[in-house]
Structure 1
Amino acid sequence: MTVALFIPCYIDQFYPRAGIATLQLLERVGCTVVYPRQQTCCGQPLANSGMEQEARPIYTHYVDTFSQYEYIVCPSGSCVYHVNAHYDVLEQSEAVRAVRERTFELADFLINVVGVESLDAQFEARVGIHNSCHGLRGLRLGHGSERVGADFSYYRYLLDMVEGVELVPLDRVDECCGFGGTFSVNQPELSTKMGRDRLADHLRNGTEVITSGDMSCLMHMEGLIRREQLPLRVMHVAEILNSRVTAGMTSR
């Protein structure tokens, strides 16, 4: 199947390795991946700042860019949720409806469209999963603790396929890291405290690598890790799922 890859702004600018890993992972599971070069932002930062009218031209450009593709895949739950849920302000043409329905978060796409049951991947580390708010409660990529029902996690399901990964049980598995996009700018003290709480949970339980489907959350926590010189590192889930060991070295 042919997939159009949508790369969020912060991955493009700060964490291109996560975008490259997503591309390689999709190709490894049999997808033909195209990257529309005219793509820009999904419009979420403006909308979250109360400027949704100003974001509408960005929404329209996204629709014009991706409407011709059967599947659009993005390694970011927050961007995907924004397209799915907030493009309702546009006139619901066939193209708009199609783009909203066809934009998938990476793990969701791998499990529910591709039907991945195994991965040729190896990564030796104790890994703690960070469930981002949009991915968990917007896209339902896992079971939120406030809901009644069976426990599940798309990320846990996929990471269990990676040889060498030891998943770390956390005390508060679905607590926010405090980033929240513009929230971290408007409420820096509260945002920092929430981030420190999340890192303390990982440290307490022996995490070596924190992973998530949202690089924005990881970026927030990585800033605290670097400033406080903590023995942790962050990696997008695509990087771990795309990891293989060759001649004694981990290649991604």
Structure 2
Amino acid sequence: MNVSIFIPCFIDQLYPSVAFNMVKVLEKVGCKVHYNANQTCCGQPAFNAGFWEESKAVCAKFLKDFEGSDYIVAPSASCAGFVRNYYNKLFTKGEAASVQSRIYEFSEFMVKVLKVEDVGARFFAKATYHDSCAGLREIGIKSEPRQLLSKVEGLQLIEMNDVETCCGFGGTFAVKFEPISIAMADQKITNASATDAHYIISTDMSCLMHLDGCIKNKKSGLKVLHLADVLANF
């Protein structure tokens, strides 16, 4: 199966290992992975900040970069959800439909399209899972990442309280409403710590980036891992 990957800005710049690990897993299950080096951003930051015209120019480039791809897979429910749900606000009906119907978040693609749950991963640790708002509410994934994690040898997954509550990141929300954002992250970290987990796992590195900063500030022993990082441990 031919798969084009979209790598979000912050993963490209800050967490490139997540992208490489996603590719590693996709290739392990038989996908032929293609990376268009001309790709840039999905346009979400500008759109959320209210700069719709500037965002549209970036989004138009995204559509051009991925036209003709069989499937588009991203290690981010936030970016995939933006393309799928908000491009219609920038383009007339049908202009973005082809790309919108072919973009998937990583775990969603693995379970729903490839029908794969067990990739032969091994990770001996105790962890808890964080549902990102984008994954849960815009992409509609909840069981998919858990199905994949349940097949990882040695991984003990424990659910935290209020697991569907936002971590407080929300992109520019964390900048505009810093005290609220930090308080929300603190509550998430408290709930995660109560499970005695060593790791917080999620499909969205943006959430984990926010939580990791607060974890380090609190000097908590928790660590964060993207789903792809766990599944790439063969």
Q: TM-score category by the smaller chain?
A: over 0.9
Match of 2:191 among 201, 206, 210: 201
Secondary structure at the counterpart of residue 67 of structure 1: coil
The equivalent residue for 1:44 is 44
Aligned partner of 1:242: which letter? A
Secondary structure at the counterpart of residue 91 of structure 1: coil
Aligned CA RMSD, in angstroms, stands at 0.9
Alignment of 1:141-160 (within 5 A): 141-142=141-142, 153-160=143-150
Aligned partner of 1:33: which letter? V
The equivalent residue for 1:174 is 164
Deviation of the 1:117 alpha carbon: 3.6
Report whether the alignment pairs 1:112 with 2:112.
yes
Match of 1:189 among 179, 194, 201: 179
- Aligned mates of 1:169, 1:61 — CA distance in 2: 40
- Aligned mates of 2:72, 2:194 — CA distance in 1: 38
Secondary structure at the counterpart of residue 163 of structure 2: coil
Q: Which runs of 5+ in 2 are unaligned?
A: none
The equivalent residue for 2:91 is 90
The equivalent residue for 1:150 is none
- Aligned mates of 1:99, 1:193 — CA distance in 2: 37
Deviation of the 1:219 alpha carbon: 0.0
- Aligned mates of 2:200, 2:168 — CA distance in 1: 15
- Aligned mates of 1:117, 1:138 — CA distance in 2: 22
Report whether the alignment pairs 1:63 with 2:63.
yes
- Aligned mates of 2:47, 2:178 — CA distance in 1: 20
Identity rate, percent: 39
Q: Which runs of 5+ in 1 are unaligned?
A: 143-152, 245-252
Answer whether contact 2:25 2:119 (CA < 8 A) is retained.
Answer: no
- Aligned mates of 1:21, 1:226 — CA distance in 2: 24
Q: Describe the superposition over 1:34-53 as per-residue Cα deviations: whole angstroms up to 9, x where unpaired.
A: 10000000000011111112
Secondary structure at the counterpart of residue 235 of structure 1: strand
Find runs of 4+ consecutive structure 1 residues off by over 2 angstroms: 91-94
- Aligned mates of 2:148, 2:117 — CA distance in 1: 8
Deviation of the 1:131 alpha carbon: 0.3
The equivalent residue for 1:19 is 19
- Aligned mates of 1:172, 1:61 — CA distance in 2: 38
Match of 2:208 among 218, 221, 227: 218
Answer whether contact 2:110 2:117 (CA < 8 A) is retained.
Answer: no
The equivalent residue for 2:34 is 34
- Aligned mates of 1:216, 1:43 — CA distance in 2: 15
- Aligned mates of 1:93, 1:101 — CA distance in 2: 11
Report whether the alignment pairs 1:133 with 2:133.
yes
Deviation of the 1:93 alpha carbon: 4.0
Secondary structure at the counterpart of residue 39 of structure 1: coil
Q: Describe the superposition over 1:11-35 as per-residue Cα deviations: whole angstroms up to 9, x where unpaired.
A: 0000011111111011011100010
Deviation of the 1:169 alpha carbon: 2.1
Deviation of the 1:168 alpha carbon: 1.1
Q: Describe the superposition over 1:83-120 as per-residue Cα deviations: whole angstroms up to 9, x where unpaired.
A: 001110213345x2110110100011001111104221
Q: Describe the superposition over 1:64-100 as per-residue Cα deviations: whole angstroms up to 9, x where unpaired.
A: 0001101000000000000001110213345x21101
Secondary structure at the counterpart of residue 225 of structure 2: strand
